[in-house]
Each structure stands twice: as structure tokens, then as C-alpha cells.
A = this chain, B = another copy of it.
Amino acid sequence: MPSPTINRQWLYTQIPDAVVGPEHYSYSEVELQRSLAVGEVLVEAAYWSVDPYMRINQSRRPTWNAEPHPLGVVQSAAVVGRVLDSRDPELASGDWVEGPLGWQTHAKAHGSTLRRLDPTLAPPSTALGVLGMPGRTAWFGLMEAGRPQPGEVVVVSAAGGAVGSLVVQFAKRAGATVVGIAGGAEKCRWVRESLGADVALDYRAYGDAAALESALREAVGGTDVYFDNTGGMISDAVMPTIRRRARIVVCGAVSQYGGGLDEPESGPRFSHHLLYQRATMQGILARDYLHRMDEMLARVGPWVQRGEIVFEQTISAGFETLPRVLQELFTGSHRGKRLVSA
């Protein structure tokens, strides 16, 4: 390939008050610095990740980080790419790698921050999805915090999303009865027919939380594990249905990403449900399981290789589309993992 001389970047330049979009980014080109120190690697990006958590990092309030994503720098993101040049003896030109390289076409990084990928085992892009952060979130969130038992009912919100679509499948493999909650009849059909949920509920088809709650009760009676990606009206519907010693996994709050992050959501509280049912509600974050990535890969990797896991990817072509694709994550109706390819 021709030797690149320009690094293209998306800089995060403005804090969103509501939905994040292209107006909060600015495009930039800088000269590509190719010289490498010992241990460094130059990577050319092939796939950029676009994830809901990015919006949380932009909140003005303290979140999992004390400070929001800094302004005027490359948007942080997980990236899959190929090694262009290497001074790390473990990595060679042409190798596929995954790492936190941000929204830019090229990046230098220490080899130790990169994960080498074997493209014969699975498509490299899966390192941003089922075999990456979303897969780790779904696996450990469900298995360690949710702890589904055979015959229990697992309810998953945003069941068509990158994490939710995997939780549905992992919960089925754990022997649970699975209810996927998603937006739209089409997506619900996919959740049921392709992902294998026993029941899929289209929350948009219900006027309020009480109606959705009734439908959930009618379908499965109650909830043993609630994997919560959304908060909001869906949680209002699910929480009154929790059973004795239920586990609620708080993984995300996508209902709030349109602007509800700076002022916390108000509504009926859940404490009394937890008390009456002796239930447990636990927040989980992918980074806390990073050191156990090998464990997840050993379990989930073979399923992916054997084609037993549906890991739909919605891939948009072109680096220039990145901020728009991030916006669509909150306004569109994609299925599975959203990516941008070079």
C-alpha cells in the first residue's frame, strides 16, 4: 500500500446538552509522524467503534470518571486496525490488533496496549463487539452479577443492541426463559427469531409502563434477572415484577442519553422492591472485567467460531461518517453493534 503521510482525526470540541452529533466534533488533518520509539507500533485503523458509553463520558457531571472527556482532543474509542510498522518484537507489519486508539486513521501506541487478533478465528471487527468490550460486558454482567439459573426468567432491555443481543443469547445458553424488550415490531421479530428470545416485547406498542408491566406479567409471570440497558419507562415496567432474590444488573441508561445525564432521572424509586423481594441491584462496567478477558474469550470464542452466536454488525463505510453514526446510535433503529469501517 502507498505510504500514508496524513493522519485524519475527529476532535471532540463541544459538550452536548442533548443528543450528541456532528456539531460537537471537528475534522482535522495532521502530518503523520512515522518515527517510532522502542516498543512502539504504528497502526492503520480499519474499524472504529461507536458506543453508547461515549455519551456518558461527555456528561458535565462526575460519572465513572471524575472529569468528562477533554475537549479539543481525538475522540477516544476502541479501534481495530493493522500494524504498519513496529518496534515491538511481539508485533509485525500486517498483524491485526485492537486497542484504545481513538477516532483517527492512524495511531502510534505502545505494543503492550494492543491486543493481537487472529483473523482465522473470527473476523477482526468482532474484537469491537462479541469478542470485545460489548461481549465482555454482556458475559460478565449477566453471568457474574445476574447469575441466571436454569428455568429463571431473564428480562433484557435494549435487547437488539450490541450488548443486549448477546445477553439474550447467553441467557438462553444458561437455560433461562428470556424476554427481550426492544423498540419496533421488526426488531422484536429479530430478537425472537434470530436471537432466540422466548418473548420479545415492543415497548413502543405500550402506552405507559403499567401496560408494559401487564404484558410482561402475562407473558412470564415475573422477573428473576433484569439486565437493564435503558432505565426509564422500561425499568418502571420491569421493577414491580421482580421476584424473590432477583438480581438487577445496571449496565446502561440509554433512555437518558438524549440529555438526562446532567440532571438525574426522577421517578418512582425502586428501594421498596429491593427490600420486599430481598433483591440486589448492581452497577457493572466492562473495564472492571478487562483482566478476565481471556476467560470470556475461552467461553464465547468457540461459540463464535462454530457460528452459534448471532453477532450482527451494522457497519457504515467511511471515516467521515463517525459523528453522524454516533448520533444514530441514539436516534436510529440499528441492530447489534455499530461500527465504522475505513
Contact = CB atoms under 8 A, between A and B. Distances in A.
Interface of A: 62-64, 228, 231, 235, 250-253, 256, 261, 264-285, 288
Given A282-B280, A288-B278, A269 B270 contact: yes
A271 B62 contact: no
B276 A62 contact: yes
A283 to B, nearest CB: 4
A255 B280 CA distance: 21
A253 B271 contact: yes
14 contacts: A63-B272, A64-B275, A231-B272, A253-B271, A264-B268, A264-B269, A265-B271, A265-B272, A266-B266, A269-B269, A278-B284, A278-B285, A280-B281, A280-B282
Contacts of A279: 282-283
A275 B288 contact: no
Given A275-B285, A279-B282, 9 more contacts: A253-B271, A265-B269, A265-B271, A269-B269, A270-B271, A271-B283, A274-B282, A278-B283, A280-B280
A64 B228 CA distance: 23
A64 B269 CA distance: 17
The 10 closest A-B pairs by CB, nearest first: A274-B283, A275-B283, A264-B268, A280-B282, A281-B281, A64-B276, A250-B275, A265-B269, A63-B276, A278-B283
A268 B271 contact: no
A252 B272 CA distance: 8
Which one of A253, A265, A283 has the greatest number of beta carbons of chain B within 10 Å?
Answer: A283
Contacts of A265: 268-269, 271-272
Nearest to A251: B275
Nearest to A266: B268
Contacts of A228: 271
A266 to B, nearest CB: 5
Which one of A271, A281, A282 has the greatest number of beta carbons of chain B within 10 Å?
Answer: A271
B277 A283 contact: yes
A283 B269 CA distance: 13
A228 to B, nearest CB: 7
A279 B249 CA distance: 11
Contacts of A272: 63, 231, 253, 256, 261, 264-265
